[in-house]
Amino acid sequence: MLPAAHRLRRSVDFERAVRRGVRAGRSTVVVHLSEDPEGAAQPQVGFVVSKAVGNAVHRNLVKRRLRAATASRLSVLPAHGRAVVRALPGAALASFEELSADLDSGLLRATRRLDERAGERR
């Protein structure tokens, strides 16, 4: 389970992460990652699972799987990191292992891109 302190809740936070951050897409998920130095010093993650994924049963299953997979990967995110994980329609048919692998890959790629962007600013 993802601790409450690590969850994005406000739509403003979702919007900032998506618009200001970097993006890394995979076959089942897209990861948007940004840094918010003025926010909490712990990484926060939010999930977007639209009706394109499937009915309510499938969407909730995908959300639960993504939350569980993300909880063990919080250490990969920067301290002030804000991530939005958007599920794609293929996520409904993916196993937990496939979702976890795509999440790992997406987080790694997004973290690298964020580091590259920070290096360019310096």
The reported pLDDT for the residue numbered 122 is 54
**pTM of the predicted model, to two decimals?**
0.90
In a structure prediction context, what are the per-residue pLDDT tens digits for the chain, which is 122 residues long?
Answer: 788 889 999 999 899 999 999 999 999 999 999 988 776 678 999 999 999 999 999 999 999 999 999 998 888 888 888 999 999 999 999 999 999 999 999 999 999 998 888 777 65
Which secondary structure element, helix H or strand E, spans residue 108, and what is its range? helix 96-121
Residue written as token pair 């995908």 = 62
